[in-house]
């Protein structure tokens, strides 16, 4: 569910006999087509797959404090659109009178409310179309209430003990003016913080997933990434926890999916570093140009540029 949609079946009616397309997701016969459009991650496979609705229901109950017990009460609404790095959104579904969006993050991202605005716009648009409604009509359209949650799970315990610094985000924090005519609220659950204890105790699958992430990160200090993943899978299968059967039956896929999550996080980090380097370069050029206008000797300009870059790099390092 992202900025641009796939319209392959947009005008086709629902066929409940084969479940071919319901406006949100495709069935297994379309998997070979869909896989060319996005890369799945372990989190999405655990909580957003039709065959694992029970996991999504468990997570929802943990987040909402409810006690639903029938996975079929949950209707997955994840869309098949492609966005950044070939990914679609993580998990979305309708249950009761709520439209739930759950996103997984391994790095801090204060822009999640903006992403949520885009995601919910697409979800509600699809919901209205599916109900046969029209946003141009005179009748008020009833909509499921939104619930937006980000599960923050940093590999290596980068923000253990609640160091993330926030447990909610607001779109209005990004506004340059005082207007609050549009607002998006996002709850953030940092699995490394004490405040997440109730959620984790009510969702053994989420707890095991976080444990998997942490074990791989720790093993990465002494072995390759693939070795760390393989050894973690072996351990957790042998221990017989909530993910043991899942890991046993999907071993190769899990390794590939987790590598995807790692690659995406690494790509984001690389982009931030590249952006910082570009900023340093631009600042140094601007300083040099100003000094030349002042008639400063070229050797002095070169030394000043080097010093400025070093100081900015040191400041950035101290903030990270």
What pLDDT sits at residue 243? 96
Using alpha carbons only, give the angle 203, 269, 224 rounded to the nearest 5 degrees: 70
CB 98 within 8 A of CB 144: yes
Q: Model confidence over 103-149: pLDDT tens digits?
A: 998 888 899 999 999 899 989 999 999 999 999 989 999 999 999 99
Which residue, among 252, 201, 62, 19, has the nearest Cα to 54 in the 3D structure? Answer: 62
Evaluate if residue 248 carries a pLDDT over 80: yes
Closest Cα to residue 88, out of 182, 209, 30, 2? 2
**pLDDT at position 24:** 54
In the predicted structure, residue 51 carries a pLDDT above the cut 50: yes
Mean pLDDT on 78-101: 76
Distances (CA, A) of 193 to 145, 153, 164, 189: 27, 10, 9, 8
Compare 269 and 177 and report the one with higher pLDDT: 177
pLDDT grade for 247, boundaries at 50, 70 and 90: very high
Domains of the chain by residue range: 28-202
Tokens representing 107 are 């790095």
CA distances from 296 to 35, 239, 285, 299, 306 (A): 58, 69, 14, 9, 15
C-beta separation of 149 from 103 below 8 A: yes
Give the N- to C-terminal CA distance of the chain in Å, as an integer: 31
Count, residues in the chain: 320
CA-CA distances (angstroms) from residue 261 to 91, 107, 153, 168, 192? 15, 11, 11, 23, 18
Q: How confident is the model at residue 10 (pLDDT cuts 50, 70, 90)?
A: very low
Greater pLDDT, 246 or 22: 246
Handedness of CA 31, 32, 35, 40 (dihedral sign): positive
Q: State the pLDDT confidence band at 64, using cuts at 50, 70 and 90.
A: very high
Q: How much is the pTM?
A: 0.71
- Of 147, 167, 184, which Cα lies nearest the Cα of 60? 147
d(C-alpha 320, C-alpha 303), whole Å? 26
pLDDT tens-digit profile of 152-176? 987 655 544 456 778 999 999 999 9
Is residue 30 predicted with pLDDT exceeding 80?
A: no
20 pLDDT tier (thresholds 50, 70, 90): very low
Supply the pLDDT for residue 313: 61
């Amino acid at each position: 569910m992202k900025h641009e949609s796939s319209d392959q079946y947009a005008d086709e009616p629902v066929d409940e006999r084969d479940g071919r397309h319901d406006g949100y997701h495709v069935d297994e016969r379309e998997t070979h087509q869909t896989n060319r459009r996005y890369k799945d991650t372990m989190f999405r496979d655990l909580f957003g797959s039709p065959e694992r609705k029970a996991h999504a229901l468990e997570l929802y109950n943990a987040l909402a404090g409810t006690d639903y017990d029938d996975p079929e009460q949950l209707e997955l609404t994840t869309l098949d659109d492609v966005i950044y790095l070939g990914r679609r959104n993580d998990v979305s579904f309708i249950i009761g009178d709520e439209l739930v969006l759950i996103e997984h993050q391994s790095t801090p991202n204060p822009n999640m409310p903006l992403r949520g605005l885009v995601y919910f716009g697409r979800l509600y648009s699809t919901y209205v179309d599916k109900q046969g409604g029209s946003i141009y009509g005179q009748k008020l359209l009833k909509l499921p209430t939104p619930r937006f949650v980000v599960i923050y799970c940093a590999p290596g315990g980068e923000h253990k003990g609640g160091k993330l610094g926030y447990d909610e985000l607001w779109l209005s924090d990004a506004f340059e003016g005082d207007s609050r005519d549009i607002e998006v609220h996002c709850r953030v659950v940092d699995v490394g913080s004490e405040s997440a204890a109730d959620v984790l105790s009510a969702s053994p699958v989420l707890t095991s997933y976080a444990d998997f992430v942490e074990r791989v990160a720790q093993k990465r200090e002494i072995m390759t990434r693939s070795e760390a993943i393989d050894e973690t899978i072996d351990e957790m299968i042998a221990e017989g926890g909530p993910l043991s059967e899942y890991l046993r039956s999907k071993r190769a896929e899990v390794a590939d999916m987790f590598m995807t999550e790692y690659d995406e996080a690494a790509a984001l980090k690389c982009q931030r570093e590249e952006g910082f380097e570009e900023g340093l370069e631009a600042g140094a050029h601007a300083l040099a140009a100003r000094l030349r206008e002042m008639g400063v000797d070229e050797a002095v300009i070169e030394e000043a540029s080097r010093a400025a870059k070093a100081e900015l790099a040191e400041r950035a390092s101290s903030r990270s």
